[in-house]
Amino acid sequence: MQRCTCCGRLCHPPALLCPCDHAATEYIELSGRGFVESWTVNRHQWFPGFPPPYLIAFVNPVEDERVRLLTNLVNVDPEEVTQNMAVRVIFDRCIDGEDEVFIPLFEPER
Amino acid sequence: MNAAVTDRTIISGIGQSAIGRRLGRDGLELTAEACLAAVTDAGLTPADIDGLTTYPGASQPGLGFSGASLRDIHDALGIKPNWVAGGVESPGQLGAVVDAVLAVACGLASHVLCWRSIWEGTAQGAGRRKGYGSGGGRPSGMMAWQMPFGATAANLAALQIRARMLRYNLTREQLASIAIAQRAHAARNPKAIYRDPLDLDMYLNARMVSDPLCMFDCDIACDGATAFVISRAEHAFGLDHPGVTVEALDCAHHDRFTWEGGQDIARISSRWCTIWERTDFNVADVDVASLYDGFSVFVLCWLEDFGFCPVGESGAWVADPARISLGGQLPINTCGGQLSGGRLHGFGHLHEACLQIRGEADARQVDGARLAAVGVGAANSGTTAMLLRRT
Nearest-CA residue of chain A relative to B260? A68
Q: Do residues A100 and A68 both lie within one domain?
A: yes
For a pLDDT cut of 90, what percent of chain B falls above it? 78
Q: Do residues A25 and A66 both lie within one domain?
A: no
Q: Do residues A26 and A40 both lie within one domain?
A: no
Q: Do residues A63 and A84 both lie within one domain?
A: yes
Q: Do residues A25 and A42 both lie within one domain?
A: no
**CATH number reported for the structural domain that contains residue A77 in this entry:** 2.40.50
Q: Do residues A18 and A35 both lie within one domain?
A: no
Q: Do residues A45 and A22 both lie within one domain?
A: no
| In chain B, where the domains are located | 3-126+222-238, 151-215+244-390
Q: What is the pLDDT of residue B127?
A: 54
Q: How many CB pairs under 8 A join A and B?
A: 97
Q: Do residues A23 and A71 both lie within one domain?
A: no
Q: Do residues A8 and A56 both lie within one domain?
A: no
- Annotation: CATH topology of B3-126+222-238: Peroxisomal Thiolase; Chain A, domain 1 (3.40.47)
Sign of CA dihedral B51, B56, B59, B63: negative
Q: What is the pLDDT of residue B269?
A: 62
Q: Of B316, B360, B310, B311, which Cα lies nearest the Cα of B335?
A: B360
Domain of A56 in residue numbering reads as 31-108
The string of pLDDT tens digits covering residues B90-117 is 999 999 999 999 999 999 999 999 999 9
Q: What is the pLDDT of residue B133?
A: 44
Please say whether the beta carbons of B185 and B364 come within 8 A.
yes
The string of pLDDT tens digits covering residues B277-327 is 999 999 999 999 999 999 999 999 999 999 999 999 999 999 999 999 999
| Chain mean pLDDT for chain B | 92
Q: What is the pLDDT of residue B1?
A: 44
pLDDT band at residue B76 under the 50/70/90 scheme: very high
Query: By the CB < 8 Å criterion, does A56 face chain B?
Result: yes
Q: What is the pLDDT of residue B387?
A: 97
Task: Give the total residue count for chain A.
Answer: 110
- Annotation: CATH topology of B151-215+244-390: Peroxisomal Thiolase; Chain A, domain 1 (3.40.47)
Q: pTM above the 0.80 mark?
A: yes
d(CA B293, CA B113): 25
Per-block average pLDDT, block size 10, for chain A (110 residues)? 96 93 96 98 93 97 96 97 98 89 95
Please say whether the beta carbons of B222 and B118 come within 8 A.
yes
Number of domains in chain A: 2
d(CA B153, CA B64): 17
Task: Please enumerate, as own/partner, the contacts of A53-59 that have beta carbons within 8 Å and a separation of 24 or more.
Answer: A53/A78, A54/B150, A55/A81, A56/B149, A56/B150, A56/B151, A56/B155, A56/B158, A56/B159, A56/B210, A57/A81, A57/A106, A57/B159, A58/B159, A58/B163, A58/B260, A58/B265, A59/A34, A59/A35, A59/A87, A59/A106
| Angle CA B171–B173–B175, to nearest 5 | 70
d(CA B89, CA B327): 38
Q: Do residues A24 and A72 both lie within one domain?
A: no
Q: Do residues A13 and A62 both lie within one domain?
A: no
* Phi, psi angle pair for B273, to nearest 5°: -70, 125
Interchain pair A43, B259: CB under 8 A = no
For an interface test with B, the pick among A4, A22, A65, A70 (most B C-beta atoms closer than 10 Å) comes out as A70
For an interface test with A, the pick among B130, B155, B267 (most A C-beta atoms closer than 10 Å) comes out as B155
Q: Do residues A88 and A68 both lie within one domain?
A: yes
